[in-house]
C-alpha cells in the first residue's frame, strides 16, 4: 500500500491534472455535443478501459519499453494518430441530411466506446505519463512497487471517470439544445471532424520528451 501522505498528495495532484482539459476531454466533449450524453459517457468508459491497459503495462514495466525503444514508440504513435485522423475524416464525410428526410440514426454506442478505447490505447503519451508520474508517489519501504503503482493508477482512473463524466454530461446537455439547430448540426460536424484530425496531427508530431 502507498504511504497515506503520498497517496493524499497524489489525489490532489491528479485532480488538478484531470481538471485541466486535454486531448481526452476534447474527444469526449466532441462526442457528447455530437451525439448526446450517452455517447459521451460511452467515450469515457472506452477511454478508461484503455487507461486500465496502460496502468497494467506501467505496473509490469512494459511502458519502459515504449519509452526506451524509438521504433516501438513510433509504431504506437503513428497508429494512434492515423486512427484519430480516420475518425475525423469519417465524421467530415457524413452526408448532410435532407431537411425533409428523417434524421440518420446516431452512431452505435458500441462503436463510440471502441473508438475511445483504441484512441487511448494507441496513445504513447499516456504510457509515458504513467511511467513518469506514478513512481513519484511510490515508497519502496511500503511494499511491492508494482502493487503501489497499480493502486495509484486505479485511483487516477476512478478520479478520471468522475471528472470526464462531468464533462460528458455538461457537453451532452448543451448539445441537446444546440442540435435542434440545423446550422449548428453542420457546424458541430465540422468541429468534431477537424478536432479529431487536429488531435491526430498533434499525436503524430509528439516527441518522446
Q: Summarize pLDDT for 139-185 with one digit per residue, the tens.
A: 767 777 778 888 888 999 999 999 999 999 998 888 777 666 566 56
The CA distance from 163 to 122, in Å, is 22
Comparing 96 with 68, the larger pLDDT belongs to 68
- pTM value? 0.69
Main-chain phi, psi angles of 30, to 5 degrees? -60, -45
pLDDT bin (cut points 50, 70, 90) of residue 101 is very low
How do the domains of the chain map onto residue ranges?
4-11+23-205
Looking at residue 127, its pLDDT comes to 75
Long-range contact set of residues 137-141: C-beta below 8 Å, sequence gap at least 24? 137/2, 137/6, 137/7, 137/9, 137/10, 137/13, 138/2, 138/6, 139/2, 139/3, 139/6
**Residue 99 pLDDT more than 50?**
no
The pLDDT score that the predictor gives to residue 104 is 47
Q: Give residue 182's pLDDT.
A: 60
Average pLDDT over residues 49-60: 87
Amino acid at each position: 500500500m502507498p504511504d497515506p501522505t503520498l497517496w493524499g498528495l497524489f489525489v490532489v495532484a491528479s485532480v488538478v491534472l484531470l481538471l485541466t482539459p486535454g486531448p481526452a476531454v476534447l474527444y469526449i466533449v466532441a462526442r457528447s455535443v455530437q451525439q448526446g450524453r450517452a455517447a459521451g459517457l460511452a467515450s469515457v468508459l472506452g477511454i478508461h478501459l484503455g487507461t486500465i491497459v496502460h496502468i497494467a503495462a506501467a505496473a509490469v514495466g512494459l511502458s519502459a519499453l515504449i519509452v526506451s525503444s524509438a521504433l516501438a514508440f513510433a509504431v504506437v504513435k503513428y497508429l494512434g494518430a492515423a486512427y484519430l485522423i480516420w475518425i475525423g475524416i469519417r465524421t467530415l464525410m457524413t452526408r448532410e441530411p435532407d431537411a425533409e428526410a428523417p434524421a440518420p440514426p446516431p452512431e452505435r454506442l458500441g462503436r463510440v466506446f471502441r473508438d475511445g478505447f483504441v484512441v487511448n490505447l494507441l496513445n504513447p503519451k499516456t504510457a509515458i505519463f504513467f511511467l513518469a508520474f506514478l513512481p513519484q508517489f511510490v515508497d519502496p519501504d511500503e511494499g511491492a512497487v508494482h502493487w503501489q503503482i497499480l493502486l495509484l493508477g486505479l485511483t487516477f482512473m476512478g478520479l478520471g471517470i468522475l471528472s470526464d463524466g462531468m464533462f460528458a454530461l455538461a457537453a451532452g446537455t448543451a448539445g441537446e439544445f444546440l442540435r435542434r439547430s440545423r446550422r449548428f448540426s453542420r457546424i458541430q460536424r465540422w468541429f468534431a471532424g477537424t478536432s479529431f484530425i487536429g488531435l491526430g496531427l498533434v499525436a503524430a508530431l509528439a516527441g518522446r520528451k
